[in-house]
Structure 1
């Protein structure tokens, strides 16, 4: 089961959050789910322009797009994007790390963008049912700024967490969620396993340098957090859906 299959299987009506929406790979199918409202954040200007264009004009009434980053507090941050041999590497853009000279890689330059940062808790959401978070190392800050919302709404979460972007993050993020009553799992070949069984040396090695394309095989970097009070039943649904070959995105 892929990441969208997780959200499709566990979908409940309400607000679906897309953090790091890029050009809409999740926001678009989220918007097609029944009784959904989409709240999507993408701070990179070029990616946000494509995201906005992908939804057409006028913007659907149940979709809200924000050219902002989420974080621990309201303010401003610097979004750093590596440029490899003149080609922008948008998928590596991060508010948590720098590139270029800081990386010590002559093939990599850096573009920096000042971006507004908001706390999710400042939005006062009451119906958040799911969130996909892809923040290139800033996941911990995103979650800290969403603490009240997570406790109130109990959404399911899919989170890309990579040690190459933030050393220690595969320990720190699940520990923070554990304190909020979430169980974090990982999936490989339709087997769902607890975080305690995750072998980082075997399944989570990758270069932090965008000029070096190397990673372990398999490379597991998407993790799934379920509210503990519902985790057993949700895992049963995920396993049944995987066995049935379900979890495909709906047609728009």
Structure 2
């Protein structure tokens, strides 16, 4: 199951947050869900410009119920360095991160571009109706959730998260543990079956090179995780299984 399908099946009217919106792959489907308000966060300047253009192409204008925020999210307000590797002269936007600088991977093939971008906490927005959240931040997921702690406790949204050991060692342990402490069940889906995070074999399901110039990964490679409020997890998981 992909992230868009998950959010569509479990959609409730309210505010939906897309962290790491890039050029709108998930932002646009979220914006089409009924009675949705979408907050899209994309700090990389080129991607943010394409996101705005993609929304205009899809809807004619940037819809009034979609807000674009050219900022990074984290656990405090201020500024942060966003580092993007460049491989053989080609920007690797999907690897842009506020959590690492790629210094150990610099070579005649790999260079970096760095941007100073605004940093905000989701909690500072005071959201009262957050129903869903998607996070794809190349290693910064823990800080993003720390900065959203009060919102998660208050609103109990469902979440999808892309978590990869190659981007931040230990993150596939730390992020689920943080969510567990907030009363969330963290799951992954593989070949149509749903499993608790405890079933993740990191040695065989999360093995990938952290070097932007080396494209290799385990098969299967599990990196999308789903978080359900514990008090609703059984009913929500039944809905997901019923749609398979």
Measured against the shorter chain, the TM-score band is over 0.9
Contact 2:205 2:220 in 1 (8 A): yes
Choose from 96, 100, 107 the match for 1:97. 100
Higher relative contact order, chain-length normalized (CA < 8 Å, sep 6+): 1
Choose from 171, 174, 188 the match for 1:172. 174
Choose from 211, 214, 218 the match for 1:212. 214
Q: Which consecutive residues of structure 2, in runs of 5 or more, have no partner in the other structure?
A: none
Q: CA deviation at 1:182?
A: 0.4
TM-score, L = length of structure 1: 0.94
**What pairs up with 1:221-240 in 2 under 5 angstroms?**
221-240=223-242
The runs of at least 4 aligned residues of structure 1 exceeding 3 Å deviation read none
Measured against aligned partners, the alpha-carbon deviations of 1:104-161 in whole angstroms (never above 9, x if no partner) come to: 4331000000000000000000000000000000000000000000000000000000
Please tell me whether residue 145 in structure 1 is matched to residue 147 in structure 2: yes
- Within 2, Cα distance between the matches of 1:230 and 1:103? 43
**What pairs up with 1:46-85 in 2 under 5 angstroms?**
46-56=46-56, 58-85=61-88
**What pairs up with 1:107-122 in 2 under 5 angstroms?**
107-122=109-124
RMSD of the TM alignment (CA)? 0.9
Counterpart position of 2:15: 15
Q: CA deviation at 1:3?
A: 1.5
Measured against aligned partners, the alpha-carbon deviations of 1:65-124 in whole angstroms (never above 9, x if no partner) come to: 00000000001000000000000000000000012x432433100000000000000000
Worse-matched range after superposition: 2-11 or 135-144: 2-11
Counterpart position of 1:130: 132
- Within 2, Cα distance between the matches of 1:160 and 1:133? 6
TM-score, L = length of structure 2: 0.97
Q: CA deviation at 1:58?
A: 3.6
Please tell me whether residue 202 in structure 1 is matched to residue 204 in structure 2: yes
- Within 2, Cα distance between the matches of 1:149 and 1:208? 32
Measured against aligned partners, the alpha-carbon deviations of 1:160-205 in whole angstroms (never above 9, x if no partner) come to: 0000000000000000000000010010111010011111111110
- Within 2, Cα distance between the matches of 1:175 and 1:63? 31
Q: Which consecutive residues of structure 1, in runs of 5 or more, have no partner in the other structure?
A: 243-252
- Within 2, Cα distance between the matches of 1:131 and 1:209? 28
- Within 2, Cα distance between the matches of 1:104 and 1:51? 29
DSSP-derived class of the 1:59 partner: coil
- Within 1, Cα distance between the matches of 2:107 and 2:221? 23
DSSP-derived class of the 1:229 partner: coil
- Within 1, Cα distance between the matches of 2:73 and 2:106? 28
Counterpart position of 1:248: none
Counterpart position of 2:29: 29
Contact 2:105 2:212 in 1 (8 A): no
Counterpart position of 1:249: none
